[in-house]
Amino acid sequence: MRPFYTLWTTNRWLFVRVELLGTFLSLFISVTLIQKIKTVDAGLAGIALTFSTSLLEYVYWLMRQSTTVDMHFEAVERINEYMDMPQEPPSIVEGSRPPAAWPTTATIQVRDLMVSFSNSETDAILKHISFNIYSGEKIALVGRAHAEKYALVSCLFRFMEPMRGSIKIDGVNIAWIGVEDLRSRITFISKEGWLLSGTVRSNLDPFGEYDDYALWQVLYRVRLAKPSIHHDFVATGSTYVAASSAIQDLDKDLGKEGCRLPVYERQLLCIARALLQDCTKLVIIEEAHLNPESQEVLRSVIDQEFEESTLIVIPYLLHDVVNYDKVMVFDQGNMVEFDSAIDLLNKQHSLLQSLCEKAGILDELTLDTDILT
């Protein structure tokens, strides 16, 4: 409705300007005829005035019709563009669906992975990457640039298809299954905490598959709600109400893309959605810049709820790499290091050590690792 309203408002404004121009044209012709009243025939003067009033109306309709034709041709051009656009892989591949409980351990095996936007090996973002991530490991992705990390995450969700190589999760090659089967079993939490424009309920349960008690349960687990006695609750005698700074009603409008919640609460709500849908075996998190209090709450929830999950994190601060089991370091499309932060920081000529030294946090991290050991 909004584009239609804008189109007709523009047409009316064009009509007003054309009519105003036509009025000035008629006035100019009338003054000219009066000045030459002795030399111009009365019939010709009438014809001139008649055509001067209608000429710009024809010009107006010509402009409108030419614009309409141009719009229709642009619509055909867009349709052809969409028809030629590369199609996403099928959502479900019958005969090649993973087990119902997949993934059970979320073990990841990557072999000879090569990714490029232009399908050219010379411009490859990832070059012959191979590694294993075992069940329950917590991995941090680090690099000079962001391209390698986001390319790897995109391949895990099949937003990008690799030129070469394979990714297996619990022994299942993700290239052989549908994207719906893949994306519904793993979780990605972006640094913006992406939400739908709508209510808490529509974000947690967009298809209406769970009751209110289940929704309040997951909100309580991520500390967006706290337990409280409610006498009208029949099933267990208790329900859940929101914490003072978080969610007070399941039908609360969160605004456009959740803008009425701070970033860390949006991320907590994304975690609650993953817990509700039971897709927490493999979780990928992109950390955001948060104040220490919010960061502590978020990290505490992640440590508690994803303790047995395989976790891949893109840390916001380099200082946080010591919190993870291993660190995967990228440089110019290559995975140059993959080991524990302690070993890499103590290793001579390590890229992670060099990055920490340039950031001025090497001594502090070395002290922290000494305490941990």
Q: What is the pLDDT of residues 72-102, one digit of tens each?
A: 898 899 898 888 888 888 999 988 999 988 9
User: What tens digit of pLDDT does each residue of 227-264 get?
Assistant: 654 433 333 334 444 444 467 888 888 888 888 888 99
Same domain as 182, residue 207? no
For residues 203 and 257, state if they share a domain. Answer: yes
Prior bond to 3 cis, omega within 30? no
Are 270 and 198 in a shared domain?
Answer: yes
Q: What is the mean pLDDT of residues 137-144?
A: 92
Residue 322 sits in a domain of what CATH number?
A: 3.40.50.300
Both 139 and 264 in one domain: the answer is no
pLDDT score recorded for residue 168: 96
Boundary residue ending a domain (53, 84, 115): 84
Which amino acid belongs to residue 294?
Answer: S
CA dist 282 and 108 (Å) reads 9
Q: How far is CA 68 from CA 56, 65, 71, 73, 184, in A?
A: 18, 5, 5, 9, 43
Going from the C-alpha of 53 to that of each of 18, 41, 63, 87, 149, the distances in angstroms are 11, 19, 17, 54, 67
Token pair, residue 251, equals: 């039908």
Q: Is residue 298 part of a domain?
A: no
Q: How far apart (Å, rounded) are the C-alpha atoms in residues 304 and 275?
A: 12
Last residue within a domain, chosen from 23, 57, 84: 84
From 61-65, 242-246, 355-359, the region with the lowest mean pLDDT: 242-246
Q: How many domains does the chain have?
A: 3
Based on the fold, state whether residues 72 and 142 are members of the same structural domain.
no
Q: Does pLDDT of 320 surpass 50? A: yes
The answer to whether residue 295 sits within a structural domain is no
Cα–Cα distance for residue pair 255/257, rounded to 1 Å: 6
Query: Could you tell me if 153 and 107 lie in one domain?
Result: yes
Q: What pLDDT does residue 369 have?
A: 58
Q: How many CB atoms lie within 10 A of CB 296?
A: 12
Residue 22: CB atoms within 10 A of its CB come to: 18
pLDDT more than 90, % of the chain? 41
Calculate mean pLDDT across residues 290-309: 91
Domain identity same for 98 and 80: no
Would you state the structure tokens that stand for residue 177, as one six-digit string?
Answer: 């299954």
Say if residue 119 is in the same domain as residue 198: no
Residue 53 has pLDDT above 80, yes or no: no
Is the pLDDT assigned to residue 371 strictly greater than 70? no
- Residue 25: domain span: 2-84
- Whether this prediction's pTM lies above 0.85 is answered by no
Cα gap 41→271, rounded to integer Å: 86
The secondary structure of the chain, three-state, reads CHHHHHHHHHHHHHHHHHHHHHHHHHHHHHHHHHHCCCCCCHHHHHHHHHHHHHHHHHHHHHHHHHHHHHHHHHHHHHHHHHHHCCCCCCCCCCCCCCCCCCCCCCCEEEEEEEECCCCCHHHCCEEEEEEEECCCCEEEEEECCCHHHHHHHHHHCCCCCCCEEEEEECCEEHHHCCHHHHHCCCEEECCCCCCCCCEHHHHHCCCCCCCHHHHHHHHHHCCCEEEEECCCCCCCCEEEEECCCCCCCCCCECCHHHCCCCHHHHHHHHHHHHHHHCCCCEEEEECCCCCHHHHHHHHHHHHHHCCCCEEEEECCCHHHHHHCCEEEEEECCEEEEEECHHHHHHCCCCHHHHHHHHHCCHHHHHHHHHHHC
Q: Are 123 and 304 in contact (CB under 8 A)?
A: no
Q: How far apart are CA 215 and CA 224, in angstroms?
A: 11
Please, are residues 78 and 51 in contact by the beta-carbon 8 Å criterion?
no
Distance CA 347, CA 46 (A): 98
Question: In percent, how much of the chain has pLDDT > 70?
Answer: 92
pLDDT band of residue 1 (cuts 50, 70, 90) is low
Residue 68 lies in a domain: yes
Higher pLDDT pick, 158 / 48: 158
Does residue 299 lie in a domain region?
no
